[in-house]
Amino acid sequence: MLWTNDLSVGVPEIDEQHKGLFACLARVEKAIDEKQRGSSVFFALDQLADYARIHFAVEEIEMRIHRYPDFDAHVEQHRTFESRVKQFSEEALHRNVFEDVRDFLNNWLVEHIQIADKAYAPYLVAGNTGAGAGGNT
């Protein structure tokens, strides 16, 4: 799974970070596909978690600055993702991680970007700091 143009949220800095997340995901998938040792999958998931933590922090700061109204729900999605990745990486040490892990990660990331990230992005683009919606006309 690769980042494609239709995943662009219109904010270059955020798009670059999303590409980075997909690169991390590709490493997780590779480790799973090649049936590498659990520690390889664990390490790849750990890198994904690190990268995601930084990316989510950036988004959350930007949403705060621009007073995004659905901040709480968005942050909750980030926390859910983090706890699932942590759970997967712990499981990876003890058993084979299955296809459903890669499916979950891919589906979550694509859906989160397409719906949740695309919802806050116009607030950043418009330089909105709270007065009304910053969406497209």
117 binds Fe ion (CB under 5 A): yes
Say how far apart CA 33 and CA 21 lie, in whole Å.
18
| Nearer of residues 119 and 126 to Fe ion, judged by Cβ | 119
Instruction: Compute how many residues bind Fe ion; rule: CB under 5 A.
Output: 2
Q: What's the CA gap between 43 and 29, in Å, rounded?
A: 12
Kindly write out the interface string for residues 52-71 of this chain, putting x where it contacts Fe ion by CB under 5 A and - elsewhere.
Answer: -------x------------
In angstroms, give the least distance from the CB of 38 to Fe ion.
28
CA distance 79 to 62: 17
- Token duo for residue 92: 């990876």
User: What's the min distance (Å) between Cβ of 93 and Fe ion?
Assistant: 27
Q: Which residues bind Fe ion (CB under 5 A)?
A: 59, 117
